Structure 1
Amino acid sequence: MIEEWSEFNVAMAGATAALVGLVIVASSVNIGEIIKSRTLTARLLAGIAALVLALAVSAISLVPGIDRFWFGVVTIFVTVLAAIFQVHATRLIATDPDPADQARPLKYLVGFLPLFAYLAAGALVWAGHPAGLYLAAAGCLLAIVSAIVVSWVALVEVLR
């Protein structure tokens, strides 16, 4: 069932790899200002981790002959690794002392969406349910959208 998704995964692996590079380059332009912020560095890192997660899952699915067991196990494992960065960013955002920050939950909740999709995808594929691959596709698209949103917001905040 995984092989049927090869064209989608080739496209997503290329797209996420390109986006990782673009986010890193765009961030490096203003890195001096970004590192002055208590939360921006962690948010950017969580966004990059989400893109790397999407890249990893797309690449894993392209391994010739990979079975559902290993796809599920590796997907869950790399999702947990990416979650470490999102949890760290969430802690920093939640404890940010700026009382004017009304959008605080939105700053970190968006980063958990692809993680939840990938965890469910890994578990479902591991169990042999093909719906897990649709969740993996949703996780990939959510990772791209959330990383773009986080990156854009971070880069705009630096210039304020």
Structure 2
Amino acid sequence: MIAQWSEFNVAMAGATAALAGLVIVAASVNIAEIVKSRTLTARLLAGIAALVLALAVSALGLVPDLDLAWYGGLIIVVTLLAAAFQVNVTRLIARDPDPADRARPLKYLIGFLPLAAYVVAGVMVWAGHPSGLHLAAAGCLLAIVSAIVVSWVALVEVLR
């Protein structure tokens, strides 16, 4: 089943790698201002982690003769690693002294969308359910969208 997704995985691996690089370059332009904020650096890191997650899942989908159970298990493992960054962002925003920042859940909730999709996809793929691969594709697209939104918001906020 995984072989049928090879073209999608190749495209997504390339796209997510390029986007991660662009986010890093964009952040480096204003790095002095970004590092002054606890939440901006963490949010950008979580956005990059989401892109790396999508890259890892797509790249793993290209491994020849990878068993579905192994693929599902690996999706779960890399998702849990990426989730550590999103949990850290959520914790930092919750502790932010500015009540206006704590009142904006979009700043951290959007990052959990691809994680949730990938965890469920990993479980489904591990169990041998073919629609788990469709959910993994949705997770990849959600990772791209959430990383772009989070990065854009962080980069705009640094200029305020």
**Normalising by structure 2, what TM-score?**
0.98
Aligned amino acid, residue 146 of structure 1: S
Q: Which residue of 2 aligns with 1:92?
A: 92
Deviations 1:96-153 (A, max 9, x none): 1102336521110000000000000110010000010011000000000000000000
Percent sequence identity over aligned pairs: 81
Q: Which moved more, 1:95-104 or 1:143-152?
A: 95-104
- Contact 1:50–1:114 under 8 Å retained in 2: yes
Q: Which residue of 1 aligns with 2:107?
A: 107
Aligned amino acid, residue 16 of structure 1: T
Q: Which residue of 1 aligns with 2:29?
A: 29
Aligned amino acid, residue 44 of structure 1: L
Q: Which residue of 2 aligns with 1:59?
A: 59
Q: Which residue of 2 aligns with 1:141?
A: 141
Aligned amino acid, residue 34 of structure 1: I
Distance 1:46 1:102 in 2: 17
Distance 2:28 2:90 in 1: 22
Distance 1:82 1:102 in 2: 22
How many residues align? The count is 160
Distance 2:102 2:75 in 1: 34
- Contact 2:96–2:102 under 8 Å retained in 1: no
- Contact 1:94–1:104 under 8 Å retained in 2: no
- Contact 2:46–2:85 under 8 Å retained in 1: yes
Distance 2:87 2:104 in 1: 14
Distance 2:30 2:43 in 1: 15
Q: Which residue of 2 aligns with 1:71?
A: 71
Q: Secondary structure at the match of 1:39?
A: helix
- Contact 1:69–1:126 under 8 Å retained in 2: yes
* Residues 96/102 of structure 1: CA separation in 2 closer, same or farther (3 Å cut): closer
Structure 1 runs (4+) deviating above 6 angstroms are none
